[in-house]
């Protein structure tokens, strides 16, 4: 089910006069990730990643789509930087493909590194701030062959990669994020199997999560040592859980949902411990943790990236867990996700209340998929415009409630490879025709551009 016509649409991008969005120091940006846009998977020494393997396996992605070509950004990056800069945004969030920059024997791959050096240099020359994620899900396949994130050894390989690439690119990055959405890497990669490498064991997922977070902590040390002027953080996807059952069982289900999605990551990072209720939810799946690990994981952060998309309604499963039950008659996106802006405000205010050492926040991803079509060179993505308006209003409310949110990145700069959903789901504010690689600005992109021009013209 998609957009319901009863929902009020705002055709303009129109933050109220007192919104934080008008502040010139509130960073507005757009985001992408390497495997989703680059293509060129076998060029210039890039080695296979788990997503190459997974997407080439029949039945794993919609229509068998792979990232082999994607948006061909590897070849078109100069035009894409031009498009991005013309949007008037202040920042671009991208990720580095680990398999592109490091050989199988752990040596730097000069050609792959040159790609990012050129890209970051061009972005900087356009006055854009660079937010760079080290790991957005594309583990080199040879490491997965040794057990991937379930194997503690991968932690040390990741730290070596972080060390090498931050030496190579020091001075070109404003903000480093170690990981994008460890929840998805751990749970979808090793628990549900919806993502690469497609394993299905919750004990693998919890061990993978511990190793991802430990890898994060070790990477933080290298990033700080090699690029002291840059900010260092991590990006977590968070979910709002509520229950139509107002009784104790329903409320516990909603609490457990958020514990499993949010606190599983934020507690180790900000409190140096895992929530123990997780091990009641997943009996026997407590990860193996060595002495000193939690101190490494809990190293201070300069920022926390928050990715928010939707709310989930849950009820008790009658045992230790919860069941997801779709609400009827709510507005949804092309992904089937509920549009629920207040969840973002609620979560931000809650994190501010619950974590005394919460670092400054960037909303590193927010956006929606729609089945956009180009008609006469125009893409009228009205629902996305309304979505962005409402989520930005939620951010503004959180800021007014005292949360230190410093910026917002639209997911995504352009339509791209949406993982298991292939190319059908379009998240971009720029439309991509995959047959011709033509880029067309959607109305959302034009309105954001116009707003940012107005903002910078204000005294
Ligand atoms: O496309 C993804 C992105 O890679 C990670 N966060 C969620 C987005 C939409 O599903």
pLDDT digit string (tens) for 406-453?
Answer: 999 999 999 999 999 999 999 999 999 999 999 999 999 999 999 999
Which residues are CB-contacts of 412 (< 8 A; sequence separation ≥ 6)? 30, 31, 32, 36, 365, 367, 427, 428, 429
Q: Whose CA is nearest to atom 10 of ligand 1?
A: 418
CB 181 near ligand 1, within 6 Å: yes
pLDDT in tens, 383-392: 999 999 999 9
Q: Is residue 2 part of a domain?
A: no
Q: Is residue 4 part of a domain?
A: no
Q: How many whole angstroms from 356 Cα to the centroid of ligand 1? A: 28
- Predicted TM-score (pTM) of the model is 0.97
Q: Whose CA is nearest to atom 4 of ligand 1?
A: 33
Pocket test for ligand 1, best of 310, 412, 416 (most atoms within 8 A of CB): 412
Tokens matching residue 73: 């950004």
Report the number of secondary-structure helices (H) and strands (E) in the chain. 17, 11
Q: Is residue 430 part of a domain?
A: yes
DSSP, collapsed to helix, strand or coil, labels residue 109 as coil
Per-residue confidence at 11, pLDDT binned at 50, 70, 90? low
Residue 232 CB-half CA count within 13 A: 22
Q: How many whole angstroms from 417 Cα to the centroid of ligand 1? A: 9
Largest CA distance in the chain: 62
Residue span of the structural domain in which 407 resides: 9-458
Element containing residue 241 per DSSP (H, E): strand 231-242
Q: How many whole angstroms from 335 Cα to the centroid of ligand 1? A: 11
The residue from 365, 373, 424, 454 that is catalytic is 365
Which atom, in ligand 1's list, is nearest to the CA of 335?
Answer: 10
Mean pLDDT over all residues of the chain?
96
Whether residue 226 is predicted with pLDDT greater than 90 in this model: the reply is: yes
DSSP, collapsed to helix, strand or coil, labels residue 303 as strand
> DSSP state, 198?
-
CB 307 near ligand 1, within 6 Å: yes
Name the one residue in this structure whose structure tokens are 């499993």. 260
Q: How many whole angstroms from 337 Cα to the centroid of ligand 1? A: 12
Task: Provide the Cα torsion 273, 346, 190, 109; round to 10°.
Answer: -90
Which atom, in ligand 1's list, is nearest to the CA of 365?
Answer: 6
Residue 5 burial (10 A CB sphere; 0-12, 13-18, 19+):
exposed
Residues paired with residue 410 on neighbouring β-strands, in sequence order? 30, 366
Whether residue 6 is predicted with pLDDT greater than 70 in this model: the reply is: no
CB 138 near ligand 1, within 6 Å: no
Residues paired with residue 322 on neighbouring β-strands, in sequence order? 316
pLDDT in tens, 64-94: 999 999 999 999 999 999 999 999 999 999 9
Q: How confident is the model at residue 296, as a pLDDT?
A: 99
Q: Is residue 43 part of a domain?
A: yes
**Nearest CA to 316 among 372, 243, 422?**
243
pLDDT in tens, 227-260: 999 999 999 999 999 999 999 999 999 999 999 9
Residues paired with residue 313 on neighbouring β-strands, in sequence order? 242
Q: How many whole angstroms from 418 Cα to the centroid of ligand 1? A: 7
φ, ψ of residue 40 in degrees (nearest 5)? 50, 50
Which residues are CB-contacts of 353 (< 8 A; sequence separation ≥ 6)? none
SS3 content of the chain, % helix, strand, coil (to 5): 40, 20, 40
| Whether the Cβ atoms of residue 138 and residue 34 lie closer than 8 Å to each other | yes
Which atom, in ligand 1's list, is nearest to the CA of 237?
Answer: 6
Q: How confident is the model at residue 361, as a pLDDT?
A: 99
Q: Whose CA is nearest to atom 1 of ligand 1?
A: 418
Mark residue 83 as left, alpha or beta (left: phi above 0; alpha: psi -120 to 50; beta: remaining). Answer: alpha
Tokens matching residue 50: 């788990």
> DSSP state, 104?
T
Whether residue 5 is predicted with pLDDT greater than 50 in this model: the reply is: no
Per-residue confidence at 54, pLDDT binned at 50, 70, 90? very high
Q: 7-21, 24-38, 146-160, 336-350: lowest mean pLDDT where?
A: 7-21
Is 10 a known active-site residue? no
Q: Is residue 306 part of a domain?
A: yes
Give residue 353's Cα distance to chain centre: 23
Which atom, in ligand 1's list, is nearest to the CA of 33?
Answer: 4
Name the one residue in this structure whose structure tokens are 């329903």. 250
Q: How confident is the model at residue 14, as a pLDDT?
A: 78
Q: Is residue 60 part of a domain?
A: yes
Q: How confident is the model at residue 8, as a pLDDT?
A: 40
CATH number at residue 360: 3.20.20.80
Which atom, in ligand 1's list, is nearest to the CA of 416?
Answer: 1
| Whether the Cβ atoms of residue 348 and residue 361 lie closer than 8 Å to each other | yes
Q: What's the domain count of the chain? A: 1
Interhelix angle 153-168/110-125, nearest 10 degrees: 50
CB 411 near ligand 1, within 6 Å: yes
Q: How confident is the model at residue 249, as a pLDDT?
A: 97
Whether residue 359 is predicted with pLDDT greater than 70 in this model: the reply is: yes
> DSSP state, 258?
H
Q: Is residue 152 part of a domain?
A: yes
**Nearest CA to 347 among 213, 233, 237?**
237
pLDDT in tens, 260-310: 999 999 999 999 999 999 999 999 999 999 999 999 999 999 999 999 999
Q: Whose CA is nearest to atom 9 of ligand 1?
A: 418
């Amino acid at each position: 089910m998609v957009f319901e016509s009863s929902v009020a649409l705002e055709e303009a991008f129109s933050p109220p006069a007192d919104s934080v969005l008008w502040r010139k120091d509130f960073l507005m940006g757009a985001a992408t990730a390497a495997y989703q846009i680059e293509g060129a998977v076998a060029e210039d020494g890039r080695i296979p990643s788990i997503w190459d393997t997974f997407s080439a396996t029949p039945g794993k992605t919609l229509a068998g789509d792979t990232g082999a070509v994607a948006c061909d950004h590897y070849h078109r990056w100069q035009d894409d930087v031009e498009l991005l800069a013309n949007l008037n945004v202040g920042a671009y969030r991208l990720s580095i493909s680990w398999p592109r920059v490091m050989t199988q024997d752990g040596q730097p791959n000069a050609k792959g590194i040159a790609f990012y050096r050129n890209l970051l240099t061009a972005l900087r020359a356009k006055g854009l701030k660079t937010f760079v994620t080290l790991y957005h899900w594309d583990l080199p396949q040879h490491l997965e062959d040794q057990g991937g994130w379930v194997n503690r050894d991968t932690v040390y390989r990741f730290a070596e990669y972080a060390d090498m690439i931050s030496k190579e690119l020091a001075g070109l990055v404003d903000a480093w994020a170690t990981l994008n959405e460890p929840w998805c890497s751990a749970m979808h990669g090793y628990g549900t199997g919806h993502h690469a490498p497609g394993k299905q064991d919750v004990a693998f997922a919890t061990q993978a999560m511990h190793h991802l977070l430990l890898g994060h902590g070790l990477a933080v040390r290298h990033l700080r040592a090699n690029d002291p002027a840059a900010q260092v953080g991590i990006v977590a996807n968070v979910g709002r859980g509520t229950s139509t059952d107002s009784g104790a069982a329903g409320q516990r289900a909603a609490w457990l949902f958020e514990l499993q999605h949010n606190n599983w990551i934020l507690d180790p990072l900000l409190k140096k411990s895992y929530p123990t209720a997780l091990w009641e939810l997943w009996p026997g799946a407590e990860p193996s943790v060595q002495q000193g690990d939690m101190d490494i994981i809990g190293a201070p952060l300069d920022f926390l990236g928050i990715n928010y998309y939707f709310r989930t309604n849950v009820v008790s499963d009658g045992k230790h867990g919860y069941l997801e039950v779709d609400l009827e008659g709510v507005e949804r996106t092309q992904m089937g996700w509920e549009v629920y802006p207040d969840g973002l405000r609620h979560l931000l205010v809650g994190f501010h209340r619950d974590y005394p050492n919460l670092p400054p926040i960037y909303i590193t991803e927010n956006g929606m998929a729609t089945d956009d079509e180009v008609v006469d060179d125009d893409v009228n993505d009205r629902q996305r415009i309304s979505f962005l308006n409402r989520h930005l209003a939620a951010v503004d409310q959180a800021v007014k409630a005292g949360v230190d949110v410093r910026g917002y990145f639209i997911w995504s700069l352009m339509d791209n490879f949406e993982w298991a959903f292939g190319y059908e789901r379009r998240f971009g504010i720029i439309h991509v025709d995959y047959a011709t690689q033509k880029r067309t600005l959607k109305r959302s992109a034009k309105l954001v551009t116009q707003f940012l021009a107005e903002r910078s013209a204000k005294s």
